Structures are given as structure tokens and as C-alpha cells.
Amino acid sequence: MSQLSDAREDALKPAKGIPYSVYLLAICQSLMQSSNILMIAVSALACLPMLEDKSLVTLPISLQFLAMMLTSAPASLFMGKFGRKAGFILASFIGIAGGVFAIIAILNSQFWLFLIAAVCLGMFNGFGNYYRFAAVDLVHNEFKSRAISYVMVGGIFAALIGPNLSVIAKYVFSELNMHSALGENIANSQFAGAFFFVVAFYVLTLLVLTFIKLPNAKAEQVEGKVRAWKELISQPKFSTALICGMFGYGVMSLVMTATPLAMMHHAHSFSDTMFVIQWHVLAMFVPSFFTGNLIMRFGVVNILLWGVIFAFICVAINLLGQSTWHFSVALIFLGLSWNFLFIGATSLLTDSYQPQEKSKAQAINDFLVFTTVTISSLSAGALQYQFGWKMVNIGVLPLILLMLFSVLKLKKHND
């Protein structure tokens, strides 16, 4: 049955090479990441004038992460039944609605509507995070790590476009001088411009999707036994991919989120902080140009091992000092670590299930990975304020050691 399933899966895939649809998925990834950067950049500032209780200012971002986490598993199951393209198109309409809700909410100072907008944007991300798996569906097995890597390249353009658009967007609505059609002309209206771009990004995503060729749900349906989730997770490849995906992303999210707070505590300027974060984001995505090739040449287990080593180097540098140089180099290694671990874990995961188990296996993986990311992001501030920068870094060491143990165990199993 396994050989028949593999033969059918290969029959659905094109001739050897990277089809143009993979590059279009990279564009979709870039648009999604750019929208996320805009949301993070202006959300708190846009909400401040709406709130008497300023402690609620980060609630929209929290709800966005929560919605993404809760959507990830249903999104995979939906696409397993109706096809990836149907899922991505549905998500685009949800994202457009979220952007429109955000514009109306800001112009009318309606915080509750902005919360609904944040949930919609999180739901879009719950679907959009499967772009990397959609790329795997389009290529033969020997090219899958390269396809995943190419999709993640989209983050480079988001890192360059997003921050600049957040500045330009401030002036969109104030220059247009929007009045009573969407609400009173309030000083806060400049932040509505950011969500004008968010809507545009999701509309562009819909347009790009019309040119992407993805297998339909009927063509992808493969008969065969679907193992229970406990049986799937107990496999060495699956468990290692899950551990590296969860904690590689979780460690990155926690340390990255805590870094601006730590730099402020150590009296670094805002420009220094932005310099550190920008280089970190570039380190996250620039390696995607060659990570897939490295996996093909040296094997996914060795790339995962280097991802773990880079995480150790990041922590070591952070513990050695708190100068701008220390923060910059440490965050570069953190970005490299995330890239190797996330792309490597995704590639390894696709080797751990049969075609008929794809939707279930990917749902389990992404739900647990983005649950970890959500917890890490929301706890970073509290951990930094309660225990300090050194304890934040010492605190992630057990997670890095767990990844190391898991990778070495798989390496021994393969040998």
C-alpha cells in the first residue's frame, strides 16, 4: 500500500525542477509577512486613543496569535477536503474583511471592531502558514527542501517593504482627508493608512492565487489507513521535526520579542534597536536562498544540528555582554538558527507520513508549533521584566538541549 501511495503521489507532481507556482507562493508569503509587519508596527499606536485602560493595548496582537493558533488545525483539514487553493482563497477574503474592519474601527474609535479585525487577520495567517506545504505538493521529493526554502525567501522582501510602508501609510488617510463617510476626521486616522495597504496585499494575494496551479482536493485524495495522532508523533522523524519546529520557533520568538525590552533597559537608542531587529529578520530569511540546497547536499539532520548550534551561540553571546554589538551578532545567529530549524523541520516532517495522512499530520504539527509561538510571544515581556535578560537566555537553554538530544538521537537512529 505504501508503494502504491508513493507512486500515486509522484504521479500528481510535475517533471523535475521548480515550477513557477512555487515562486508565486513565495510572493503570497511575502504579502502575508508584510501585512503582519504592518499590524505589529501600528496596532498598539492605533489602539491607544481608543482606550481608557491602556493595559489592553496589546490585546489585538494577542488575539491575532490566538486566532492563528486555533485556525491552523481546521485550516489543514479544510484544505484536505476542499483543496489548498480553495483554502487560500477563503483566507484572502477573510483577510480583506479584517483589513476593512480595521480601517472602520480606527476611523470611528471602535476598539471592539478592531479586535474582530485582528481575529480575521490571525485566521488568514492560520491558512497562509501552509504556503510552504503547498510548495511541497508541486515538486518531486528530491526538490521539496528547495521548494520550502524558496517560499520562505518571501520574508526577505517583507522585511524590506513592511517597515517602510508603515511610515508611508501614516500619511495615506490624513492626506486624503477622509471625513464622515467612515467617521469623524480624528487625529488617529493616519494609522488607518496601514490597513489600506493590508487590504491591498490581500487583494494582490487573490490575484496571484488565480495564476497558481495546485492539485485539486479530488486528485489528492488517497485511500489507505490513517494512523492515530499518537502513532504519528511517536515516529522518530515526526517527533524530531515537531520538537525542532516547536522549540526552534519558540526560542526565536521569545528571545526576539524580549530583545527590544532588554535593549531599552540597557539604555540603547530606538535606532540601535531597529538596526538589531532588521539584521535579525534578514538573517531569518536571506539563508533561504541556499538552505534547501544545503539540505539536499548534507542531509536534513545535519542542517538541524547546525540550527541547534547557532541557537547555543546566540545564547552564549547574549550572556557575554549587552552592547549593541552583542545584541546584533546574537540576533543574527538567532535568525540563522530559526531558518535552519524551521525549514529543516518542515522538510523532515514531509518524510514522516503517508499521502493520505498529510492533512492530519500537518494539522498536528502547525497547531503545536504555533501554540508554542503564541505562548512564547505573550510571555516574553513578563519574563524579561520579572527575571531579566540573562535569565531569559538561561531559561531557553533546556529547550535548546531538548532539540539537541532529539536531533542526535535521530542521527544515531539513521546511522
CATH 2.40.30.10 for domain 224-415, yes or no, is: no
At residue 302, does pLDDT exceed 80? Answer: yes
* pLDDT score, position 171: 61
Average pLDDT over residues 59-86: 90
Q: Give the separation between CA 241 and CA 144, rounded to whole angstroms.
A: 15
* pLDDT score, position 192: 82
> Which residues contact residue 383 at a Cβ distance below 8 angstroms, ignoring those fewer than 6 apart?
254, 258, 391, 392, 395
Most confidently predicted of 12-26, 83-97, 188-202, 247-261: 83-97
At residue 404, does pLDDT exceed 60? Answer: yes
Average pLDDT over residues 137-141: 86
User: Could you read off the pLDDT of 177-188 as tens digits, one per residue?
Assistant: 444 444 444 445
* pLDDT score, position 358: 84
Name the residue type at position 201. Answer: F
Helix (H, G, I), strand (E, B) or coil at 321: coil
User: Could you read off the pLDDT of 234-279 as tens digits, one per residue?
Assistant: 889 999 999 999 999 999 989 988 888 888 888 888 678 878 887 8
Is residue 382 a contact partner of residue 254, using CB atoms and an 8 Å limit?
Answer: no
At residue 405, does pLDDT exceed 60? Answer: yes
User: Could you read off the pLDDT of 16-72 as tens digits, one per residue?
Assistant: 678 889 999 999 999 998 888 888 777 777 787 887 776 677 788 888 989 999 999
- Beta strands per DSSP E along 165-207: none
Please list the residue range(s) of the chain that carry CATH number 1.20.1250.20: 14-221, 224-415
At residue 398, does pLDDT exceed 80? Answer: yes
Helix (H, G, I), strand (E, B) or coil at 109: coil
pLDDT band at residue 317 using 50, 70 and 90 as cut-offs: very high
Rounded CA Rg of the chain:
21
* pLDDT score, position 204: 96
Helix (H, G, I), strand (E, B) or coil at 283: helix
* pLDDT score, position 255: 92
What is the grid cell recorded at 249? 520557533
More confident residue, 137 or 204: 204
> Which residues contact residue 298 at a Cβ distance below 8 angstroms, ignoring those fewer than 6 apart?
none
* pLDDT score, position 166: 62
- Beta strands per DSSP E along 215-318: none
* pLDDT score, position 1: 40
Name the residue type at position 252. Answer: M
At residue 295, does pLDDT exceed 80? Answer: yes
At residue 409, does pLDDT exceed 90? Answer: yes
Q: Which helix (H) or strand (E) holds 323?
A: none
Most confidently predicted of 138-142, 154-158, 203-207: 203-207
pLDDT band at residue 158 using 50, 70 and 90 as cut-offs: confident
User: Could you read off the pLDDT of 358-393 as tens digits, one per residue?
Assistant: 888 888 998 999 899 888 877 887 788 888 899 999
pTM: predicted TM-score of the whole model, two decimal places: 0.80
* pLDDT score, position 183: 44
* pLDDT score, position 376: 86
Name the residue type at position 315. Answer: V
Asked whether the CA dihedral 181, 182, 187, 189 is positive or negative, the reply is negative
pLDDT band at residue 174 using 50, 70 and 90 as cut-offs: low
Give backbone dihedrals phi and psi of 83, rounded to 5 degrees, phi first.
Answer: 100, 150
At residue 127, does pLDDT exceed 70? Answer: yes
Asked whether the CA dihedral 367, 372, 375, 380 is positive or negative, the reply is negative
DSSP 181: T
User: Could you read off the pLDDT of 209-241 as tens digits, one per residue?
Assistant: 999 988 776 545 556 677 777 888 888 999 999
Q: Which CATH topology does 14-221 take? A: Growth Hormone; Chain: A; (1.20.1250)
* pLDDT score, position 224: 62
